[in-house]
Amino acid sequence: MLSTRSTTVLRQARFQFRSSLFSATPQFTSYARLLSSLAILEQRDGKLNGSSLAAVTAAQKLGGPIHAFVAGAGTKAVAEEAAKVEGIEKILYVDSAAYDKGLAESFAPLVVENIKKGGYTHVLAGHSAFGKNLMPRVAALLDSQGISDITAIEGEDTFVRPIYAGNAILTVQSQDSIKIITVRGTAFPAAEPTSGTATVEEGVDPKDATTTEWLTENLTKSDRPELASAGRVVSGGRGLKSKEEFDRIMPPLADALGAAIGASRAAVDSGFADNSLQVGQTGKNVAPQLYLCAGISGAIQHLAGMKDSKVIAAINKDPEAPIFQVADVGLVGDLFDKVPELTEKLKQ
């Protein structure tokens, strides 16, 4: 009896809560502008970074017209390629070597000028190293609280994002008039350039200077698919024991599957694999069709980066390893026997 009553009370409370939400909405819309989005695209050496088109996919979910923005040396060509993405109305480009390396000190005011000119309500970029560096600075310049790493859009002001290494899912409602958003690439598959016919136009260039200077870069060269967007990922952990063993065991398996290679933090910290291969809360988020890992125990920080994978397979000699609680297919065994055997059998 008591439980029934309390449920009703709860229901009533919920109803009141909801109706108060509804009454709040018109206040907003009375001075809200018509929704329009700007997607910030990334380029490197005059080539479009395809995964940054995730920002366009997210913008499509919002509705309203979508413009895209790209800046750097020779970006007219990048703009013309991105113009083929369906749903984009206009691409703004700023062709200037000053913005080539995406230094936030000058890139943020550049983006802000173009936001102001276009009157956008939503500005989106990928939650990549570039987006993470740039967008909070843009948000601060506009006095807006940015919204990081969203995985879903519930409404024009309501967004879903993982917190606590993906162990909790937070839904937030933003009251800022311009929403500055970074999107999780694995939650919004990048739009493909196909038969779109966006107009290509030059953006405004405030020519803000920065005292920060770009010196060098050191990028891992690889013919394998890019980790964050690969359909298949094979990942190695501490169980690989050394860099030599990691390099002996993991690449052949990756090649047999056409997969990207990832690593746990333990493997990266021990020097088995490069930092840029780290999967987890502090590394990359991946959500491939297949995530096959060997010698990874499955600490929560690692799971944060891969537990949205479609199928998880794990090889580990410890039957109690937490990875087996999330793995769809688990094999208890010594990876030094099992992985080469698997590689051989996959090649056949």
Partner 1 sequence: MSGLKILVPVKRVLDYALKPRIKSNKIDLTGQKQSLNPFDEIAIEEAVRLRDRHTKKTSPAAIASITAISLGPAKAADSLRTALAMGADNAIHILTAEDVDLEPLSVAKVLAHIVKEEGSNVVLCGKQTISDDSAQTGPMLAGLLGWAQVTQIAAVKFVDGETAEVTREVDGGNETLKAKVPMVLTTDLRLNEPRYATLPNIMKAKKKPLKKTNLADLGLELAPRMRNVKVEEPPPRKGGVKVEDVDGMIAKLKELGAL
Annotated binding site for FAD: 238, 264-265, 278-282, 295-302, 316
With binding defined as CB under 8 A, does residue 297 bind partner 1? no
With binding defined as CB under 8 A, does residue 97 bind partner 1? no
**Side-chain-facing half-sphere of 20: CA atoms under 13 Å:** 6
By residue count, the chain amounts to 348
Q: Which of residues 107-126 bind partner 1 (CB under 8 A)?
A: 108
CA-CA distance, 57 to 59, in Å (whole number)? 5
With binding defined as CB under 8 A, does residue 324 bind partner 1? yes
Q: List the x/- string, 182-221, binding to partner 1 by CB under 8 A.
A: ----------------------------xxxxxxxxxxx-
Q: Which of residues 243-282 bind partner 1 (CB under 8 A)?
A: 257, 265, 268-269, 274-276, 281-282
Q: Which is nearer to partner 1, 6 or 199 (CB)?
A: 6
Residue of the chain from 72, 118, 136, 252 that contacts partner 1 (CB under 8 A) = 136
With binding defined as CB under 8 A, does residue 290 bind partner 1? yes
Residue of the chain from 87, 196, 225, 330 that contacts partner 1 (CB under 8 A) = 330
Residue of the chain from 1, 2, 27, 143 that contacts partner 1 (CB under 8 A) = 143
Q: Which is nearer to partner 1, 97 or 215 (CB)?
A: 215
**Residue 12: burial class (beta carbons within 10 Å; 0-12, 13-18, 19+):** exposed
With binding defined as CB under 8 A, does residue 27 bind partner 1? no
Residue of the chain from 172, 205, 245, 247 that contacts partner 1 (CB under 8 A) = 172
Residue of the chain from 176, 205, 245, 247 that contacts partner 1 (CB under 8 A) = 176
CA-CA distance, 143 to 310, in Å (whole number)? 38
With binding defined as CB under 8 A, does residue 10 bind partner 1? no
With binding defined as CB under 8 A, does residue 104 bind partner 1? yes
183 neighbors 150 (Cβ within 8 angstroms): yes
**Residue 155: burial class (beta carbons within 10 Å; 0-12, 13-18, 19+):** exposed
297: closest CA among 328, 261, 341, 264?
264
With binding defined as CB under 8 A, does residue 242 bind partner 1? no
Q: Which is nearer to partner 1, 90 or 184 (CB)?
A: 184
> By CB under 8 A, which span of 31-39, 54-62, 87-95, 104-112 interacts with partner 1?
104-112
Give me the residues paired with residue 316 across strands: 332
The residues, ordered by sequence, that sit 6+ positions from 157 with a Cβ below 8 Å of its Cβ are: 28, 173, 174, 175, 179
3-state secondary structure of 76: helix
CA-CA distance, 36 to 337, in Å (whole number)? 55
CA-CA distance, 36 to 55, in Å (whole number)? 13
Q: Which two tokens stand for residue 137?
A: 């600075």
CA 211 to chain centre: 29
3-state secondary structure of 88: strand
Q: Which of residues 148-167 bind partner 1 (CB under 8 A)?
A: 148-149, 158, 161-167
Q: Which is nearer to partner 1, 89 or 176 (CB)?
A: 176
Q: Are strands 66-72 and 122-126 parallel, antiparallel or unpaired?
A: unpaired
CB of 176 to partner 1, least distance (A): 5
With binding defined as CB under 8 A, does residue 12 bind partner 1? no
Q: Which is nearer to partner 1, 163 or 204 (CB)?
A: 163
Residue of the chain from 32, 140, 241, 317 that contacts partner 1 (CB under 8 A) = 140
The residues, ordered by sequence, that sit 6+ positions from 288 with a Cβ below 8 Å of its Cβ are: 230, 231, 232, 233, 259, 260, 309, 310
CA-CA distance, 15 to 26, in Å (whole number)? 18
With binding defined as CB under 8 A, does residue 132 bind partner 1? yes
CB of 265 to partner 1, least distance (A): 7
Residue of the chain from 124, 286, 313, 321 that contacts partner 1 (CB under 8 A) = 313
